[in-house]
Amino acid sequence: MLADNYLLLKTIHIVSSTLLFGTGLGTFFFMIRATRSGNAEAVRVTAGTVVLADWIFTSPAVVVQFVTGVLLMQILSFPFNSAWFLLVIGLFCLVGALWLPVVWIQIQLHRMLRDLRPGDPLPARFVRLVRLWELMGYPAFSMMVVIFAIMVYKPWLGAAIF
């Protein structure tokens, strides 16, 4: 029965990866642009939207990616001990390890801005956290592009490591 749903699962997997990457890239771009504008009110609205977008789109997409990925591996009888899968799941976990602190940073940024009065400059801690947030984004997005390439080309698919 699971095999009958292969194309549906693959479609869901692709759409969720698009949501994951697209939402992340979009929120990254808008947060950086708003912060660099120096306009605290624009940054306040953007930071709130970024946190909301992560909860509505990114978090569910991460779960859907993992579940559909495992189901697709089972349908296709791909070995979970293959170099291909271990590389994919390793990169997936590394991206997640970068994403979790990024979510914490986003929440801290949003909270800092909530207490900011109109006309106040952005706090120095805010600027430092945004820089850290940005620096963590570059390797995460790069690894996601590598995951896309691995999904398309499937190098070493059959080679088992153990």
H/E stretch holding 126: helix 124-153
Residue 134 scores a pLDDT above 80: yes
Residue 22 scores a pLDDT above 60: yes
Please name the residues in contact with 34: beta carbons below 8 A apart, sequence gap of 6 or more. 42, 43, 45, 46, 47
The whole-angstrom separation of Cα 84 and Cα 150 is 8
Please name the residues in contact with 96: beta carbons below 8 A apart, sequence gap of 6 or more. 62
Place of tokens 């293959």: 82
Q: What is the mean pLDDT of residues 142-148?
A: 95
For residue 160, give Cα distances in angstroms to 52, 66, 75, 78, 80: 40, 20, 18, 10, 8
Q: What is the mean pLDDT of residues 10-28?
A: 95
81, 161 Cβ separation under 8 angstroms: yes
Residue 40 scores a pLDDT above 80: yes
pTM of the predicted protein model: 0.84
User: How high is the pLDDT of residue 69?
Assistant: 95
User: How high is the pLDDT of residue 159?
Assistant: 57
Q: Tell me: the pLDDT tens digits for 73-123?
A: 999 898 899 888 899 999 999 999 998 899 899 889 888 888 788 788 888
User: How high is the pLDDT of residue 4?
Assistant: 82
Would you list the domain boundaries of the chain?
3-153
Tokens, residue 79: 């070995």
The values of phi and psi at residue 160, to 5°, are -90, 140
H-type alpha helices, 38-123: 40-53, 59-76, 83-114
